[in-house]
Every structure is written in structure tokens, then in C-alpha cells.
Amino acid sequence: MALPDIYSEGIASGWKVIDGAKLTAPQTMEADVAIIGSGAGGGVAAEVLALAGLKVLLLEEGALRTSASFKDMDEGRAMRELYQEGGARATSDGAIAVLQGRSVGGSTTVNWTSSFRTPAPTLKFWASECEVVGHSVDEMKPWFEMMEKRLDVMLWEAHNPNNSVLMRGCQKLGWEAHAIPRNVRGCWNSGYCGLGCPVNAKQSTLVSTIPGALRHGATLLHRVRVRQLQHADGKISGAVGEALREDGRTPSGTLLTIKARHYIAAGGAINTPALLLRSKAPDPHQILGKRSFIHPVVLSLAQMPERIDPFFGAPQSIASDHFQWKDGATGPMGYKLEVPPIFPGIGAGVLNAFGDDLKREMAALAHSNAVLALLRDGFVEQSPGGSVRLADDGSPMLDYDLSDYVWEGARRAWLSMAELQFAAGAEKVRSAHIDARYATSWSDAKRAIAELPLKKFRATLFTAHLMGGCAMSQNPKRGVVDSRGRHHQLANLSVMDGSVFPTSIGANPQLSIFGLTAQNATALAQDLK
């Protein structure tokens, strides 16, 4: 069945979409609001502000890729075209892989659709410990409801075998488990969400709010890298950027100057702090780029007697918060249990095997299950997160160390996941750790996990959830921005992405960014009208 190309039809009807790679002369562009980044924050802000009648310019470093280019469902193509650094982004020491989108729609184009409201304990912690106002459970409810309706967020009940392992194990052990809400419409259940949705079912900003903004007069400029915000006397006077070539990475030499009444940084929790650092934004309390959180992820692998086919079906549809708030927000580190899809390429990278061992592991992929734990960082002194800094060329680098507190959480998570997988009927289980061996019983697994050295480059660690670095707080000594995302020192600058979170949230952050941005962008629109 032929599917319409939203953007081809839209451009033909008059949408203003400009490819930076095609610009050959210096450009000066003007708008009421310039938004830098088109992911969960930038994409929502663009629609809210355009609907309010403001002239919106949406700038994106990555290229415009649409459903037409996703039909091959090819991992290599997706990594090259849709991910930061071709899928190779990592912490500065290379120990933690960082999966982050880089195209129109940002990470919403490649995420796995899980859509959770910000947990109540997180919102309460921000209010009581971080001096955040206006974002209580009751205050956020209408904004979450608004975005859930806008993006068709609903519980998903068609669980593939990979997710069913998680549910079955939790039920056997008496642990809490629940279905995950997903932002999809007409989903074909292929499972390849992380490679770009070929049927426009995933309601990413690529197919929802950005087209909504374009229909109301916004301009999208892609393959453009904003290098710096110019400022003086407490106000942004302009933004300076450079167009990129067709490869989406090499500057073409064409310079751009952006003039706007208001600027929104929405590049995500690595790129936004880096932009402000390059711009030498006022930072009187030296907190810019600090307290960056990632939900460090650890994995447990299992071989099941039945066929799992972990590369088919909705990637995530079951989660467990049994260990998330068990000891409150400030006790031992909490973690959320989910499953990841295991595509062949990703699988080969996390199996920690080589040669004949890897061949055997890949041959058994159809019977493989994986469970992951999202470790909730940032709620105690022993979990201060990381920090964003600049490399010599101005590109961002994320430093992130793991304290004993975090490692202890990782070990408990490996134990929980192994127990769950055996309860679900696994034949053998091993932690995703280079020194791990397969265990054939829960008692054997406990002994094996207890012996694992807690060291970087031994444990498989990754993240797809980037938060913090431009924390919000009413107290300028504690926050780069206030609770509405307005910069404390630069009057016409807002930040609207996950970098404003004062801690991690303990859940996949997509819907939290959607709801918070809808709330803060609506307030900004009222201020600017």
C-alpha cells in the first residue's frame, strides 16, 4: 500500500521548508521566535507558538528524513542518518554508549514510543528539594492530557514474546507490572521504531507537531548548525549558524544570522548546554552543564525455550516499577524494568561475545530475551550525575562517572532481572558484562553476579535518556532557568527540552518533555502576543 509523503505534499501546498545544504549565499532570517532543535521540546513549542499566531523559525542540525527513507528498515542506514555521531556518541571516556536522535523530529523519530507521565515522587522531589513551582501532579495533569490526546497516547495491549517474558516473570514473583502507553496511530507492530517509522504510525514530532506548525506558517530550516547565541546587556541579540553539506556534518561555508524577539534552546541535554557554553552565556554560579543525568542502563540476557523473535512487535509494551520507588526517592538507587528490542546489529554489539561464541549467540537470537534496568540517578548526593563540557572544536562532551552508589544499584538490578528471567522460564541467563557467564539456575546466577567486577568497560552500559545540565529552579543559584524555562540572566532566552530537569525522572522522558513544553510554551506565547 502506497503511503503519502507528508512533507512532499506539504511543500507542494506551500509549507516553508529550507534545506541548508542548498543554500549558497549568506542568509539573514527573522522571526518572532527562533527554536533551535526539533525534538520533543522544539517540535511541541513550534506548534504551540505557531498556533498562537507568532512567526516561528525552527532550526534543526540534522536532515529532514521522512517515511519514504525508512522503508528499508536498515540498521546501518538509520544509524548514519538518524543518530548523533552516526550512532557512535558516547561519554567522553567511551564507557557508556549514548543513543540520541539527529534529524528533524530529534529523538522522537527514533525512540521506542514509551510515553509515561512524570512520576509523582519526582515532581514532589523537584518541588520540595529543587525549588521548582508550577509543576505539581495536579498542575501538570491538563498538559499531559492535552499532549496524550494530540499524539494518540494509549495503553498498548499487543505484547510480543519479548515483553511477555517480563510480564510473566513479574506475575510469577508477585511484582508490579503494567502496560506501557505508546504514542502511535495505526501501528503495524513491525518493531523497527528505532529505525524511523516507515508508515507514519509513530506520532513523533516529525509527523505531528512540526507539520502542525508548518500548516500555520512556521518555517523549518534543516541541515543548519547553530554555533552561538550573541548577547549583551542581559538579552540575546542574534544567533549565528552555518549551513551543512549533503552529508549533514561538513559545513558548507554558508553562514546564517538569525534575528528574533525570543530564542528557545531545544537541542537536548547535551547539545543545549554546549550551545550555551559556546555562547558564553552568563553562569554566575557555575552550574551550566552540571548535574547531567542519563538513567544508566544495564542489561540481562536470557535464552528461552520458546521462540522470542525480539526484533518483531512493539519494542516496549510492559514495564515494572516494583523497584523504582521501593525505598523512596532518596534510599538505595531505584530502577525501572523494561525490555529492549534486539535487532541483529544492536544484538551483536551487546552480547559481549567474539568469534565462534558470537556466531553461536547470533544463531540463537530468535530465542533470546533481554531485560533492561533504567537506574534513577540524581536524587541523592552520591549520585550527582555528569557534566557537559566543550572539546577544543566546540563540540560537546559528556563526562559521567559511576559512584559506588550507582554500581550497587546496577548489581541489584542484575540480580532482579536474572530472578525475573528464570521465573519466566529461562534456560540460562547472564548479565551483559564481559566477565559474565551463563547461569542455569537462579542460585547459580546469584553467585555469578556477586563475583562480577563493577568497572567501566567490563559492564555493558548505555543510555537513551538525557536530562539535566540546564536545571530549572526558582533559585538562580540552583537553576540555569526558572520553572517556566526562562533563563535567569538572559531575558529573551528559554530552554525547552530535557536539560531543564533537575534530576532524572525515573521513566522514559518523552511525554514529560511534551507536557512541560506545552505548559511553558503556552505561557511564553501569552507573554509575546
The amino acid at 313: G
Name all domains of the chain by residue range, CATH numbers in brackets. 6-113+116-150+188-292+465-528 (3.50.50.60), 161-183+297-376+403-460 (3.30.410)
Please tell me the chain's helix, strand, coil percentages from 3-state DSSP, rounded to the nearest 5.
30, 25, 45
* CA neighbor of 448 nearest in space, from 421, 430, 423, 432: 430
Rounded to whole angstroms, the Cα distance separating 98 from 403 reads 19
- Cα separation of 510 and 305, whole Å? 34
Contact of 493 with 486, CB cutoff 8 Å: yes
CB 121 within 8 A of CB 328: yes
Q: Any idea which residue has 538507587 for its cell? A: 333
The greatest distance separating any two alpha carbons of the chain, rounded to the nearest whole angstrom, comes to 68
Name the 3-class secondary structure at 373: strand
Residue by residue, pLDDT tens for the chain (529 residues) are: 567 789 999 999 999 999 999 999 999 999 999 999 999 999 999 999 999 999 999 999 999 999 988 988 899 999 999 999 999 999 999 999 999 999 999 999 999 999 999 999 999 999 999 999 999 999 999 999 999 999 999 999 999 999 999 999 999 999 999 999 999 999 999 898 999 999 999 999 999 999 999 999 999 999 999 999 999 999 999 999 999 999 999 999 999 999 999 999 999 999 999 999 999 999 999 999 999 999 999 999 999 999 999 999 999 999 999 999 999 999 999 999 999 999 888 888 888 888 998 899 899 999 999 999 999 999 999 999 999 999 999 999 999 999 999 999 999 999 999 999 999 999 999 999 999 999 999 999 999 999 999 999 999 999 999 999 999 999 999 999 999 999 999 999 999 999 999 999 999 999 999 999 999 999 999 999 8
Whole-angstrom distance, CA of residue 154 vs CA of residue 185: 9
Residue 230 forms beta bridges with which residues? 238
Output DSSP code: residue 228: E
- Angle at Cα 181 formed by Cα 472 and Cα 145, nearest 5°? 55
Cβ count near 11 (within 10 Å): 15
Q: How far apart are CA 192 and CA 175, in angstroms?
A: 29
